[in-house]
Amino acid sequence: MMTDTQTHEAFRELCYRCRRPKSLCLCPTDPPMRTRTRIVLLMHPMEWRREKCTTGRLTCLNLENSEIIPGLRFDDNHRYRELVDDPDNYTVLLYPGPTARDLSKGDFPAADLGTRRLVVFLIDSTWACSKVLLRESPGLLELPRIKFTPTQPSRYIIKRQPSPDYLSTIEATHELLIALERSGLDEYPNKERLLATFFAMRDYQIERLRTDYQPRRKNK
């Protein structure tokens, strides 16, 4: 039988992939899902430096054709430029606006891609920090933009969103893949997987709030 100290140490030993305690690891046991679309998360440094697992990291653990590019100024980022400048890619930014093509209304037919691969950039940060990132990377707003109407409002109930249609990164990716499939641009075979991972993370955080009796943390 382990002592209380040993139990605490085992609980705190982190998984190097999802950055959660190994006893609460959220890494998928099944191989990552395959998609035609490449999902690229442009992660603000504040998100990248966090020790805990973010919804962006959980997203990429579950999708084979995905990656994270951390940074703040992407216009001259080597990997970003490699993707944008590749003639075999059709790169777009998932971000609302009057010029964004609405996937929910079929404004982006599959024929527009031709033989090119669709690469979707998502900004992974708080909503306030996303404005800073766009200011530091003005080239992002020169990309074609896409948007969608979520099928459901955000279920990240422990965080206050500016609007019900503002989603966490993993929820946004889930909704994006639904919209891409409906537009004939991709296939989304397991529509429960990303949300199941998200709910497991969210429910654990809710439980911690209920059982954490340390006033110093509650007052933050």
Q: What is the DSSP string of 151-169?
A: SS----TTS--SSTT---H
Domain ranges of the chain: 33-209
Predicted TM-score (pTM) of the model is: 0.80
**Separation of alpha carbons 138 and 45, rounded Å:** 17
**What tens-digit pLDDT sequence spans the chain (220 residues)?**
444 444 444 446 766 565 666 666 666 567 899 999 999 999 988 776 665 667 888 899 999 999 999 999 999 999 999 999 999 999 999 998 899 999 999 999 888 899 999 999 999 988 788 899 999 999 999 999 999 999 887 666 555 555 556 788 999 999 999 999 999 999 998 999 999 888 887 776 666 666 665 544 444 4
